[in-house]
Structure 1
Amino acid sequence: MSPAAVFAAPVAPAASPALEPAIDPGAIEFNSAFTGSSQSVDVSRFEKGNPVLPGSYNVDVYVNDGRVARKDVTFRAVDGSQIAQPCFDYPTLVQMGVDVSALDTQVVNVQNPCIGIKDISADATALMNVGDLRLDVSIPQESLKRQARGYVSPELWDQGETAFLLGYNFNAYSLDQSYSGPSVTGGTAVGTDGSQVRVQGTQYYVPGPGGNYVPSSTGTYMLTSAGQYVPVERGTYAPAQSGYSNNDINAYLGLNLGLNVAGWRLRSQETAQWDQRTGQTHWTNLNTTATHDITQWKAQLTIGDSYTQGVVFDTTAFRGVTLYSDDRMLPDSQQGYAPTVRGTANTQARVEVRQNGNLLYQTTVAPGPFVINDLYATGYGGDLAVNVFEADGSVHSFVVPYSAVPMLLRPGVDRWAITDGQVLNDSLHSDKPYFVEGTYQRGINNWLTLYAGVQSTYRDLYHAYLGGAAVNTSLGAFALDITNSHTTFKGADQSLSGYSYRVSWSKAIATSGTTFALASYRYSNGNYLSLSDAVVTQDMLSSERAGILDASGIMRQKQRLNVTVNQDFGGKYGQLFFNGSYNSYWNGMQNATTYQLGYNNTWKRVSFGVTASRTYTAGPMFNGSRYDNQFGLNITVPLGGPSARNAPQLSFSGTHDDVMGNNDRVGVTGTFGKNSEFNYGGNATYSDYGNSGSGSSQTTASGSLGWQAPYANLNGSYSYSSNYQQASVSAAGGVMVHGGGITLSPSLDLNSPIAIIHAPDAKGARVSSSGQTTVDGRGYAVATNLMPYRMNDVTLDPAGTSSDVELQTTRLQTAPRAGAVIPLTFNTVSGRAVMISAKQPNGEPLPFGADVLDEKGNTVGMVGQGGQLFVRGAEDGGTLLVRWGDDEAKQCKVSYQLPARAKGSSAQVESTDAVCR
């Protein structure tokens, strides 16, 4: 017999004629010696195995052995059977995939709260396992809808409630540099961002590795704090002092604002940068949008500042309106990307990620390899520029390719988008043109997908037409398309008409563990321009900037190639990866090439990796052109046994850079705390800048400490060397204003669904799916990481709650719409908990299985073995009725009294003895 059958407290509703008796399991005989009572008690309800008493149960519902829901199901009594049968409402049938349109509408309708299993099909059955709280439903296939695997009916999609959302990411970075050696003679100049530069004759010098001044390219450009080279404007020269000092504080604040109302999702992404040296704060609005689901089209309508989808054409920032199909609304089996950013920091560094000049992300990273895998998706096209600002003043940058992948779709699946808006580009000086874009893809069969697109500005500036096909072959997936562009420049009396050819390929060889991805190879002739190229060129011609009066002199891309190869050797042999990109241009501009090769493996419990990369860059800021070679080795060793909790890890790394020299690091990282909510790290780094021309070296020590708090993520770091000191603090989290008040969260992704949990009095209960998130003192918590248009389980772990609180359920399900805020209420019972050992006046235990009722006549449980009663809710005492028959001789009352709880004492289950009279 299951404990649930002993301590459940169901109330039996009236029987329903739609329910039929089920086949009872095999009979079971009870021996009174094991029940602790010689009294005659009716235990016939337990003689049929694991019986189902009338009432409501929170169960896992399985249909044909597939789990579909966790929900409350009511069981009603059936004449002629000791086992109650389940009642299904209309939404539950839809959730189970039943073809309700084929059933009798007189019985199966939204008004009927109790639809029986036989109303679905004469061959359907339902079997309840009370011990596992599992309801197995068997339904013939002919009574189910023919839906793809992973399908969730739109009738179950929940748009949630009205709420205001705020996600924030704050980072402050302080750097104090000093150098006591000889300085460059001459004067100072000020860069366009206010940075100081030393001047000697016609040569400019900037602070370099190790605190020395090094030539800044040709003497006409400098690297700004934004990671871009800009012309240096000569200012008033002042005599140079011996040595130098540089103190600066840089702060960044990223805000994601949101408002959900009536199915609309209003979103605004803001960033602010403050620099102590200039005293200026730059606020930037990245985008502001209003979005609404179009359910019948499985699409999204977005109004405001956004990006085109970037699947067929390159991504274009715009202000206007777009309507596009949403793959997330399709079942899992019919669904077809922001990339992961990986790099290495030599010191405690500040990392920026930009796309099209817009700052998407900023954070502080510890010395060694770093990974950024939580970027917001901004379309399928547009490379990411990553700038790493080291604590020693050096800056290194790299590009993460972000291109469209092969276009294959499943047969019958289509993907489309329509956009009408104005080009958004803050660098434009003249008018920003309006344009329209339309794209369409269609899966024809298992091996062929066709797609097409058109772009056109309102005036005759630009028109482009694209057609292509993707095929699935034994040699891999291929996509080939051709784009024809026509550009007419106003005021230049010149037109360009050109073509661009693009091919994509991907192939995974399961037998060898090899994955090839030729993300994109594009060839464009000399007269081809993209929409962005045409708009920027027209702006330059109109404003006569840079002395360009003829469109033939503008920069145009000729070839672009991105290659990714991953090889998994399996087991103990590790993984090999290769990434490479190549870009060439018309009009004499130098080519740009970069590639990276790496190998990762594990030996016993030691992880190690080797990387090598080479970058070819050219331009005035590099004194012409150069190759930059980098090599790296990293090793990680866990300290402690395999089962050790919070065991730290020891890591070693060494890198060589042709420009920056050598860098060797040893560090230790780990976590501590009850739930590993605290993390720490310490590093010692030796840098030799011999190859950089400065001929110096330095040793740096750094440390960091982080706390994944229930309501925010807090981090701090500090590093020290002979030439500089660096410190940073950061905080990230979210704030939600909803019907129940204000609730804090350690993280908040406004593009993903969010659940507002309400569990009254359950302070300290942990949200299992959301890291360190716990229920606050008002009974609220935020659950993140939900998948839109999918069934999501949201669970609470009651381990951290008071023993005076009982969660009646620890798991709920929801199928939220994208960006929705879903209220979820976990019912709780509060009150002092007591275990009563009750006996009859003659000293015998109370009869096993006797019903227990409270003072209001509600059934609160049954007597367990040895006359044990568990009661919750009576604060200092009360009276319970124990009944094992209709005669007064078979009833008695248990009165009990609990001592007053000391102020400030912790809640715990108490025990007492009582006599039932």
Structure 2
Amino acid sequence: MVMLNQKKLAFLLFSCPIYASHAATYINTIEPETTQSSNRYLLTLVENGHVFPAPYQATVKNGKIYLPENLLAMLHLPATVKIGRGGFFNPAEIPHLQEKYDADKNELLITIPADWLPDQKVTIPDRWTSAFYNDDVTPGALLNYNIYAEKYAHSAYLSGWLDGIYYNHFGYLDLSGDYTYLRNQGEVFTQAQRLNTTLVINNRRKADKLLLGDITTDNSGGFSGVYMGGIQFRRDFSLRPDIVTYPTLKLSGTAALPSTLDFYVNGSKTDQTKVSPGPYVINNIPFINGDGTMTVVTTDQNGRQVASTIPYNVQQDMLKPGLSDFNMSLGLLRYNYGTPDNEYKNAAASGTWRYGLSDAVTTLSHAEAARRMALLGGGIQYNTGRWGRFDIMASGSEAREAEKGASGYISYTQSFRRASITFSHVQSSNHYLDLSDYDAFYSDPISSDQIFYSQTLPDAVGTLGVGLMHFHSEDGGSDTLANLSYSTVYDRLLTFTLSYSRDFSQTNSNDVMFGITLPFGGKTTVGVQEQTSSGDESSTLLNISHQSGSDLGLDWSANTSLENDYLYPGYTDFSANWKTAHATYSGGAYGYGRSFTPWLGVQGSMVYMDKSLFFSRELGDAFIKVDTDGVGGVPYYYNGTLEGKTSSNGVGFVSDVVPYEKDDVAIDPTHLPANEVATGVKHGFFVPEEAGYEVRFRFNNLSEQQLIRVDAGKSVSLFAGEPIVDSKGRVITHLAYGNMAALSNNAINQRYTLKNNGKTLCSFTLSTKHDTGIEPVLCKN
């Protein structure tokens, strides 16, 4: 076997006269077979710019290159290629194939038509195609509370809202209720009532959710949802953010050489991927939504670039082909929610099923049933692409004495680069009945039309909006409302809004409103709003507010209005919220003229986790407890944003964690005491809904440790990573680089052993205590 070499080729050409006449034929191809050399060589194969990593055997006969038959499939060559004796073929004899031998690199360059290459399914490596993450949960319980009290003259009012949640890895139990106390003119009214009790069990692998207790039926597709007490089983894709559920933008093309694709959405680069030579298909471009323009810039390995512009229309609430979701509910209808007359009665069932029929069509079916009542409906979501989207739904019901009714809904939406339009029409007939009207004796037919148009004006001069709504009932009553609005931001500071509304009903009223908002600094704004109505009624509203953002601190606002050309004092209110690490305290007053009603409030959460009770600002759908090992005043960051500093006992909370997102929390170790060293400064987590997770940062206290340098003499070789074992056989630490180790100061007069693969290397004893510095220790074998 011979590896071709340029020097060898030159030697053969100029030292062997018999082949000198053929020099032009074989320069930059391959040398002919001679009696002095073998006819088998090792070549590097390059197909359409793609380099195969291993060299392959080639045979040369009469100056022609022959490759073994087993390379046909690898080189994507037709199966009809002529195979010679010995199982070799000549690629030069294949029509439409080009070959060239590069003697400098010992490469055989083969170029075949792009349509011979197999289709590539390219996946863009972004967060949507990340792996499935397991939940990070620290089982515990929390109680969110909101207490409000006010007093005016001879009356007083107190209310409290409580929401308790117990959570673990499988789901959570949610129990909420409120309490009301009212005293007026010596009469006292009190009421305590339960609002919701729901057990939620999640199956994240299958994206299924089971709810037991108080539930709300599905209200998608224009159908009305109702409160029920019972059981609900539904698909919830929020449990699986790693699954792309909607039809994504597809891109196909052909690369002649290895190339890089850069994606630009509305002028901004969003991602990049690489493709090999040949046809390719990318069907997972999920980082865009709505309508717009995508530009794909293809750069091959030679630096040549080709740009293609592709319009797109992506709808994230539709389902990709073959995917389905459902919502099935069974139980008793719930009446008078949140009132003392709350009750459960009348068994009912409701179900919705959606299915992605194609990239353009998602189907929907819906059914409702109760005693002497049934409803069946369905429809489609149709995305035409550049021409917009249609939603068409229809349903029919039969209730009581075979009374039948029907309802229909159609909507059209279209978004452009600078504009959007929405139109919808709802029509229902007499006797149409669903679960929301189950106890009604008569259902009024209704007809409504709504159209909205929004336009972003060029050169960033503002946004223009137009809306028209028309309602009509069977008794002949109708109402038509129209609105025209304009808003703009001047010099990124001054916000100006103008709105005109007209009611074409019997009142035939007109309303004009304009407002100006101006920021002072980064957190304070001042606003003026003027509103004029028919009948010469007018009011002026003045507002000033201060927001401290996510930082702890004081938020406050004040509003006052002047009615009818400043002749009469209007409504006034002012409030303040003091945000602390343990709760948010609020207070203020409101009223007309000089008569004010003062009020106070407090909102927050109590958290029981890891056998300890903590107090925090009100927590959201998911939260993180940060534990800095008892060290207070340590800054901590959520996804790079400062959230605060840990309390005096080393505890902090991140209250607004997004459920089912891979996030991280980090600390700033520069704020640690001089004798504390962090073992880690950043932790990632993946928290489900209605749950919490404890992130622990641990520190080594240098004042509680003794640094030693182990010396075993020349007879024993020590290496970093070898375990140090105490007298009880426990591994307490490992030897570091430079034969360094850290041991507890409490380890004086104890014997330690260094081992390697279970074999004792040497032993030593700490005999003295040194708070600072490095103690040399002699380890004897």
Shorter-chain TM-score bucket reads: 0.5 to 0.7
Number of the residue aligned with 1:727: 598
Which protein has the bigger strand share?
2
Number of the residue aligned with 1:438: 351
**CA apart distance, 1:781:** 3.3
**CA apart distance, 1:443:** 0.8
Q: Is the 8 A contact 1:308 1:318 kept in 2?
A: yes
Letter in 2 for 1:603: Y
Letter in 2 for 1:586: E
1: CA distance between counterparts of 2:465 and 2:637? 35
Number of the residue aligned with 2:552: 677
Structure 2 gap ranges (5+):
1-118, 247-314, 710-719, 727-731, 750-766
Letter in 2 for 1:583: F
Is 1:688 aligned to residue 688 of structure 2?
no
Number of the residue aligned with 1:417: 327
Q: Is the 8 A contact 2:168 2:691 kept in 1?
A: no
Comparing 737-746 and 822-831, the one that deviates more = 822-831
Q: 1:568 to 1:424 in 2, by over 3 A?
A: same
Q: 1:499 to 1:602 in 2, by over 3 A?
A: same
Number of the residue aligned with 2:665: 794
Task: Give secondary structure in 1 for the equivalent of 2:690.
Answer: strand
Task: Give secondary structure in 1 for the equivalent of 2:439.
Answer: helix
Letter in 1 for 2:216: Y
Q: 1:801 to 1:601 in 2, by over 3 A?
A: farther
Residues matched between the structures, number = 555
Is 1:258 aligned to residue 165 of structure 2?
yes
Number of the residue aligned with 2:539: 663
| 1:97-124 Cα distance to aligned partner (Å, 9 max, x none) | xxxxxxxxxxxxxxxxxxxxxxxxxxxx
| 1:854-909 Cα distance to aligned partner (Å, 9 max, x none) | 9999679779xxxxx9999989x99xxxxxxxxxxxxxx999667xxxxxxxxxxx
Q: Is the 8 A contact 1:596 1:611 kept in 2?
A: no
Q: 1:720 to 1:271 in 2, by over 3 A?
A: closer
Task: Give secondary structure in 1 for the equivalent of 2:319.
Answer: coil
Q: 1:289 to 1:514 in 2, by over 3 A?
A: same
**CA apart distance, 1:299:** 1.0
| 1:616-674 Cα distance to aligned partner (Å, 9 max, x none) | 599xxxxxx6355443322222335xxxxx5633332223345894332444333579x
Is 1:826 aligned to residue 697 of structure 2?
yes
1: CA distance between counterparts of 2:468 and 2:160? 33
Task: Give secondary structure in 2 for the equivalent of 1:768.
Answer: strand
Task: Give secondary structure in 1 for the equivalent of 2:689.
Answer: strand
2: CA distance between counterparts of 1:647 and 1:295? 41
Question: What is the 5 A alignment of 1:140-151?
Answer: 150-151=128-129
Task: Give secondary structure in 2 for the equivalent of 1:158.
Answer: coil
Task: Give secondary structure in 1 for the equivalent of 2:460.
Answer: helix
**CA apart distance, 1:605:** 4.0
1: CA distance between counterparts of 2:375 and 2:324? 22
Structure 1 gap ranges (5+):
1-140, 177-246, 337-404, 489-493, 539-553, 619-624, 641-645, 839-849, 864-868, 879-892, 899-911
Comparing 811-820 and 572-581, the one that deviates more = 572-581
Task: Give secondary structure in 1 for the equivalent of 2:581.
Answer: coil
Is 1:526 aligned to residue 526 of structure 2?
no
Is 1:321 aligned to residue 225 of structure 2?
no
Q: 1:501 to 1:596 in 2, by over 3 A?
A: same
2: CA distance between counterparts of 1:526 and 1:147? 54
| 1:123-175 Cα distance to aligned partner (Å, 9 max, x none) | xxxxxxxxxxxxxxxxxx99999999514555x32262431221122333445
Question: What is the 5 A alignment of 1:631-780?
Answer: 631-640=512-521, 648-658=524-534, 661-670=537-546, 676-681=551-556, 683=558, 685-689=560-564, 697-698=568-569, 703-718=574-589, 722-749=593-620, 752-769=621-638, 772=643, 774-780=645-651
Q: 1:329 to 1:260 in 2, by over 3 A?
A: closer
1: CA distance between counterparts of 2:543 and 2:189? 36
Q: Which of 210, 213, 224 is equivalent to 1:301?
A: 210
Q: Is the 8 A contact 2:375 2:395 kept in 1?
A: yes
Q: Which of 424, 440, 445 is equivalent to 1:537?
A: 440
Number of the residue aligned with 2:140: 163
2: CA distance between counterparts of 1:720 and 1:871? 67
Letter in 1 for 2:145: Y
Task: Give secondary structure in 2 for the equivalent of 1:150.
Answer: helix
Q: Is the 8 A contact 1:453 1:467 kept in 2?
A: yes
2: CA distance between counterparts of 1:804 and 1:429? 61
Q: Is the 8 A contact 1:761 1:830 kept in 2?
A: no
Task: Give secondary structure in 2 for the equivalent of 1:412.
Answer: coil
**CA apart distance, 1:505:** 2.3
Q: Is the 8 A contact 2:545 2:557 kept in 1?
A: yes
Over the aligned positions, Cα root-mean-square deviation in angstroms equals 4.7
Number of the residue aligned with 2:420: 515
Q: Which of 386, 393, 398 is equivalent to 1:481?
A: 393
2: CA distance between counterparts of 1:143 and 1:860? 49
Q: 1:797 to 1:508 in 2, by over 3 A?
A: farther
Is 1:569 aligned to residue 469 of structure 2?
no
2: CA distance between counterparts of 1:873 and 1:514? 69
Q: Which of 489, 509, 523 is equivalent to 1:602?
A: 489
**CA apart distance, 1:709:** 1.0
2: CA distance between counterparts of 1:571 and 1:828? 55
2: CA distance between counterparts of 1:872 and 1:587? 89
2: CA distance between counterparts of 1:606 and 1:163? 45
Q: Is the 8 A contact 1:148 1:331 kept in 2?
A: no
Q: Which of 607, 612, 618 is equivalent to 2:499?
A: 612
Q: Is the 8 A contact 1:415 1:442 kept in 2?
A: yes
Q: 1:424 to 1:730 in 2, by over 3 A?
A: same
Letter in 1 for 2:457: F
Number of the residue aligned with 2:200: 291
| 1:673-705 Cα distance to aligned partner (Å, 9 max, x none) | 9x8532344546341247xxxx95016765433
Letter in 2 for 1:632: M
1: CA distance between counterparts of 2:392 and 2:344? 34
Q: Which of 438, 448, 466 is equivalent to 2:361?
A: 448
Question: What is the 5 A alignment of 1:22-33?
Answer: none
1: CA distance between counterparts of 2:635 and 2:208? 35
Q: 1:781 to 1:320 in 2, by over 3 A?
A: same
TM-score calculated relative to the size of structure 1 = 0.53
Q: 1:860 to 1:653 in 2, by over 3 A?
A: farther
Number of the residue aligned with 2:255: none
| 1:409-455 Cα distance to aligned partner (Å, 9 max, x none) | 22222111111111111288998321112211111111111111111
Q: 1:741 to 1:595 in 2, by over 3 A?
A: farther
Q: Which of 468, 476, 492 is equivalent to 2:379?
A: 468
Q: 1:833 to 1:426 in 2, by over 3 A?
A: same
Letter in 2 for 1:529: L
Q: Is the 8 A contact 1:716 1:730 kept in 2?
A: yes
Identity rate, percent:
15
| 1:175-222 Cα distance to aligned partner (Å, 9 max, x none) | 56xxxxxxxxxxxxxxxxxxxxxxxxxxxxxxxxxxxxxxxxxxxxxx
Letter in 2 for 1:663: S
Task: Give secondary structure in 2 for the equivalent of 1:789.
Answer: coil
Q: 1:556 to 1:272 in 2, by over 3 A?
A: farther
Which structure would you say has the larger RCO, counting Cα contacts within 8 Å and 6 or more residues apart? 1
Determine which structure has more spread, i.e. the larger CA radius of gyration. 2
Q: Is the 8 A contact 2:496 2:517 kept in 1?
A: no
TM-score calculated relative to the size of structure 2 = 0.61
**CA apart distance, 1:832:** 5.0
Task: Give secondary structure in 1 for the equivalent of 2:431.
Answer: coil
Number of the residue aligned with 2:409: 502
2: CA distance between counterparts of 1:669 and 1:711? 24
Q: Is the 8 A contact 2:734 2:741 kept in 1?
A: no
Number of the residue aligned with 1:226: none
Q: 1:725 to 1:784 in 2, by over 3 A?
A: closer
Question: What is the 5 A alignment of 1:354-393?
Answer: none
